[in-house]
Amino acid sequence: DAGVIQSPRHEVTEMGQEVTLRCKPISGHDYLFWYRQTMMRGLELLIYFNNNVPIDDSGMPEDRFSAKMPNASFSTLKIQPSEPRDSAVYFCASSLGSGPLSTDTQYFGPGTRLTVL
């Protein structure tokens, strides 16, 4: 079975441009998570979805960031307008279940390395 798929793997853009990162979770997984990894802040949870519904977006840094999950097999993370401080590796992860009764393993995609010039 295919793992979590992310695209693009690398993105270089100029400040002010819109950036869209894409994720396809593992088929059958109900939860989808977006993380950001930087040297300064480590791995941060940005937002997560359960059955396509956003549950917690408290980690989204500001209004320039938005995420959607229009169906069970696709999610996007958009940054508009992008800034140099958004440069990071963005990971998508999915799991079968989560929470106190069935905290399942999160499987991560390969990540998208974003560079904003």
Binding site for other proteins (CB under 8 A): 31, 33, 42-43, 45, 48, 50, 55-56, 89, 91, 93, 98-100, 103, 105-111, 113
| Shortest spacing between CB 111 and other proteins, in angstroms | 6
Taking the least distance from each CB to other proteins, the nearer of 80 and 105 is 105
| Shortest spacing between CB 81 and other proteins, in angstroms | 26
Taking the least distance from each CB to other proteins, the nearer of 30 and 81 is 30
Tokens 């941060």 label which residue? 44
| Shortest spacing between CB 104 and other proteins, in angstroms | 8
Taking the least distance from each CB to other proteins, the nearer of 45 and 81 is 45
- Cα dihedral 114→73→28→107 (10° resolution): 0
Query: Read out DSSP for the chain?
Result: ----EEE-SEEEE-TT--EEEEEEPPTT--EEEEEEEETTTEEEEEEEEETTEEEE-TT--STTEEEEEEETTEEEEEESS--GGG-EEEEEEEES--SSS--PPPEE---EEEEE-
Taking the least distance from each CB to other proteins, the nearer of 65 and 90 is 90
| Shortest spacing between CB 63 and other proteins, in angstroms | 22
